[in-house]
Amino acid sequence: MMKLMWRWGVVGVALMAMGWLWWVRQPAAAAPAPPVLFVENVGQFDPAVRFRAEAGGHVYWFTEGAVYVDGERWEMPASSPITPFNPRPTVVSYYQGSRRFERVPVWGGIRYRGALPGLELAFGSQDGQLTRRWLRQGRAVTLAADRDPLTGWVEERESRAPVDWPFGFSTYLGGIYGDEGDGIGVGDDGSVYVGGTTTSLVFPEPDQAAHGVDVFLAKFLPDGSDLVYAIHFNPPSSAPDYGYALAVDGAGNAYLGGTTDSADFDVTPGAYDTSYGGGTDGFLLKVDADGSLVYSTFLGGSDFDAVLGVAIDGSGRAYVAGSTWSNDFIGTVIGPAANRSTFVARLNADGSNLERGVIMGGSGQDEATDLALDGDGLAYITGWSTSANLPTTPGSFSPDPNGGTWDAFVFKVDLNASSVVYGTYLGGGEEDRGAGIAVNSGGNVFVTGMSRSDDFPTSVSGYDTTLGGGVCDFAPCPDAFGVRLNAAGSALVYGTFIGGWGDDQGTDIALDSQNRVVITGKTQAEDFPVAGNGYDSSLDGLRDAFLAQLNSGGQTLLYGTYMGGGNIDEGQGVTIDAQGLVYLTGRTDSDDFPTTVGAYDTTHNSIEMDAIVVKMTLTDAPLPTPTATLMPTATPTTAVTSTPTHTATPGASPTPTSTATPTMAVTATPTQTATPGASPTSTLTPTPTATLSSTATATTAPPPTATATTAPPPTVTSTPTVTPEGGEWYVYMPAVFP
């Protein structure tokens, strides 16, 4: 009898475990698509317009006498008053030179009253698509086609969003013409900030002049389902303005830098420079967490000036870098600086004063393309130069140019002393350009960009020491590169190419807490390296964006993937949050760029480019201190193969050993901790206690396996494993999506 009861007990536990596994593996319900935003006209649009909306790749303009769809006019039978309903929390602001329209009312729908005798016409949204309904005394009615003045208008496109795309969210962002994301940041609360450039028109009337190229700044909810705010900087003149660089501070303030040719660009009273200098000016603006403009200032002199890198220190001071032709911008000059030269400057917290600044350059043309900042307020820049006499420093990695027409460079600058700490060229015998830079707490610098040089400085143990090959524009096709310099700037820790046969270029780089970098860019290579369960293993269009992750020593490509649709896609900016989640922005001309269900905008809006915004977890990325609850399972048999204890190197997490009992009945609640520099531990109750060694491999014989779930967010449906990574060790949970 006891034996029979024991057997039925085992069967009962097994059935419970199988039921639990079935339940947790059911697909999660898709998040509802956000409603369409109906933006009220308070003066920012043509006076005839009452409301504006975008949905399904179309732009809608609502006047009292007509509805416009992508510029095509649909007459209403009678001039009808419009009443909005369902106010929305999203903040939308427009800055048009001296005309400011802040916190414009946004609604979830509008009604035309008396559009037909006894009827009203209501516009709203469902599943992210614009809807229209005829109502009689609040009840929906169906009109015959010959009575409906809107019969035959454009049909909405369906979302192409796959339900199983393994990312947090992916969304388009844009209007009917060209838009691109150039800078991306993430706040402490997980909100996602994107800045860039737009050419989408304001109102499609024949006599409405195009506004040219303008700047935008947007903030998304952490799940990407809706906009917190969207700001359009649209000076009255049609001169071009470009947003290039974005940074976010701990309070959720966003800082956007770029260039403007608009003398009427919106600047704020009391800002450092409120007068347009001429040529092209740089600019920097600050927007608070609620979407209100804090300050906006020109940056530059009487000639060409561009802000291309922005970083913020703990006191809210903004550091900017870029290039300048102006000899009346900053007084401290290092090197000949005879033509276009780099600059680095610092503004105080309220943007009223340029506290420090230096111009650095040689006799040729030089440009700083990105900026990083360490904890001591020292600035690091990369970029490109045609100068053979940059003010580099003796003892640096490469104080002399390398023979190419363009060389990349790295400079470390002390603004308080107005001096160069170190400066070095970086390149080979062909064209080399730096594009993105990051710095760790120890002062090691990480750089990406593009190189056509087969003698670009790679390391013996670098992941790829050979230029990919091909001919592009009568020159060797470039590869992206990843480089790490030591803290003194005197030696290469690693150097590697990243690419295939064809054009590959790195555009931005981000660094995680374990000194692993993620690089984004663009590729035309059909053999771009895909690694670490990369989502997409093939080139889908003319050009794809890419993501690549290198380990801390540069020997291993931990993750590599294409990212795109059937046309042109490019990665422009990337960042990583404290949890190791990766955020990407860029641009796409693909109708089938892979978006996610429930994201803000899942359809391509433009006849040109749309911006893209993506949040994702790399398969091999570590996760911070998850707490896992192990559910009951049947009695498994566990076989453990172990090797002797690994001795950790400085800076790497120590590796525990492994001890296990072959047969165990598990009903446990383990707590996991993954902290850089500390041993991950796992405690199971009841026995046994298992501690995994550096190369321990634990296999559990089926049937069922343990299922760990982490309290949301994030949610984990996986057994933790210990994975080696270039001599470093860490615990991770694969496929975690907040």
Here the tokens at position 560 are: 């590599």
Here the tokens at position 97 are: 């030179």
CATH number of 169-616: 2.130.10.10
DSSP 288-308: -TTS-EEEEEEE--SS-EEEE
Burial grade of 156 (CB within 10 A; 0-12, 13-18, 19 or more): middle
Q: Which residue has the tokens 């053979």?
A: 388
Q: Output the CA–CA distances (angstroms, integers) from residue 129 to 103, 197, 598, in the order listed.
A: 24, 25, 12
CB 543, CB 571: distance < 8 Å: no
CB 737, CB 166: distance < 8 Å: yes
Cα–Cα distance between 66 and 15 in angstroms, integer? 63
What pLDDT does 211 receive?
A: 60
CA torsion, points 722, 724, 725, 729, in degrees to nearest 10?
60
Q: Which residue has the tokens 């460079």?
A: 409
Burial grade of 665 (CB within 10 A; 0-12, 13-18, 19 or more): middle
The CA-based angle 671-677-680, given to 5 degrees, is 25
What pLDDT does 348 receive?
A: 98
Pairing of strands 708-710, 628-630: antiparallel
Q: Amino acid letter at 5? A: M
Domain ranges of the chain: 38-141, 169-616, 622-645+709-738
**Residue 447: partners with Cβ closer than 8 Å, 6 or more residues away:** 382, 408, 410, 426, 434, 436, 437, 481, 482, 483, 484, 485, 509
Q: Which residue has the tokens 């660089």?
A: 245
Q: Output the CA–CA distances (angstroms, integers) from residue 630 to 106, 637, 660, 670, 722, in the order listed.
A: 46, 16, 17, 7, 17
Cα–Cα distance between 178 and 611 in angstroms, integer? 8
Here the tokens at position 310 are: 């922005």
Give φ, ψ of 471 to 5 degrees: -120, 125
**Residue 667: partners with Cβ closer than 8 Å, 6 or more residues away:** 632, 685, 686
pLDDT digits (tens, 9 = 90+) for 704-732: 333 333 334 433 333 333 333 332 222 22
Q: Which residue has the tokens 């977890």?
A: 617
Element (H, E) at 321: strand 318-324
DSSP 66-107: EEEETTEEEE-SS---EEEEEE---EEEEEETTEEEEEE-EE
Cα–Cα distance between 495 and 462 in angstroms, integer? 6
pLDDT digits (tens, 9 = 90+) for 139-152: 888 777 777 777 76
What pLDDT does 125 receive?
A: 86
Cα–Cα distance between 93 and 104 in angstroms, integer? 6
The model carries a pTM of 0.73
DSSP 172-195: EE--SS-EEEEEEEE-TTS-EEEE
Q: Output the CA–CA distances (angstroms, integers) from residue 46 to 58, 99, 273, in the order listed.
A: 18, 14, 31
Q: What one-character DSSP code corresponds to residue 381?
A: E
The CA-based angle 268-48-200, given to 5 degrees, is 55
At 11 the three-state DSSP class reads: helix
Cα–Cα distance between 45 and 60 in angstroms, integer? 13
Please report, for the chain, how many H helices and E strands are present, in that order.
1, 49
Q: Output the CA–CA distances (angstroms, integers) from residue 723 to 341, 380, 731, 734, in the order listed.
A: 46, 33, 7, 11
- Return the closest-CA partner of residue 664 out of 695, 692, 633: 633
Pairing of strands 214-220, 192-198: antiparallel
Distance from the Cα of residue 176 to its chain's centroid: 22
* Residues of the chain falling short of pLDDT 70: 1-34, 56-57, 78, 152-166, 201-211, 619-738
CB 604, CB 540: distance < 8 Å: no
DSSP 516-541: -EEEEEEE--TT---BSS-S--S--S
What pLDDT does 57 receive?
A: 67
Q: Which residue has the tokens 């590729």?
A: 523
Cα–Cα distance between 172 and 228 in angstroms, integer? 15
CB 88, CB 105: distance < 8 Å: no
Q: What's the sign of the alpha-carbon dihedral 666, 671, 672, 677?
A: negative
Cα–Cα distance between 115 and 83 in angstroms, integer? 12
Q: Output the CA–CA distances (angstroms, integers) from residue 720 to 31, 355, 692, in the order listed.
A: 27, 50, 11
